[in-house]
Amino acid sequence: MEVQDTRFGTLKVNEEEIITLNGGLMGFPMSSRYIMFPYSEDSSFFWLQSIDEPEIAFIVINPFDFFNDLVFEVADSDAASIGLERGEDVEIFTLVTIPDGTPEEMRTNLAGPVVVNVNNRQGRQILVKEYSPRQALIPAEMKNTVLRHNGKGHSEKPQQVAV
């Protein structure tokens, strides 16, 4: 299957890789079918591209790559809605926001993770009240390092921050 996308051009999509999000994402209920692919080679970031609305794409992460103490509990009703029976059959990702001009302020929505059943590619965005919808990805103690490498600090060799 080919999908014409406004950001990436024509994408060849294997239909078995399509993730169907029951109810869509918060604020985007009309987009329920997505594909996910790496932002770049060896990156912890991914694109979540809508098939239904080609102009919609999100940057997402596996939050466990950034936070080792997370525990997401999936309600029985949410698990049933995507046919999830075993914890090892789940994939979880969270949406990332990168403010223009201030990548050191990038955040992820831990309060609204997307849970996907890897067996049937059905998913659902859930609510987790214990976590922040604006969780910083770069700890405060690291922000000065990012600023220096991004040319905003006092580094003599400014560099771009790669995602």
Which CA distances in Å does 152 have to 50, 73, 143, 149, 162? 34, 40, 11, 8, 15
Alpha-carbon gap, residue 132 to 128, rounded angstroms = 8
Condensed to tens digits (0 to 9), the pLDDT of residues 94-123 reads 999 999 998 889 999 999 999 999 999 999
Domains and CATH numbers, the chain: 2-149 (2.30.290.10)
Condensed to tens digits (0 to 9), the pLDDT of residues 60-69 reads 999 999 998 9
Helix (H) or strand (E) holding 140: helix 140-149
User: What are the residues facing 92 on neighbouring strands?
Assistant: 115
pLDDT band, very low/low/confident/very high, at 141 (cuts 50, 70, 90) = confident
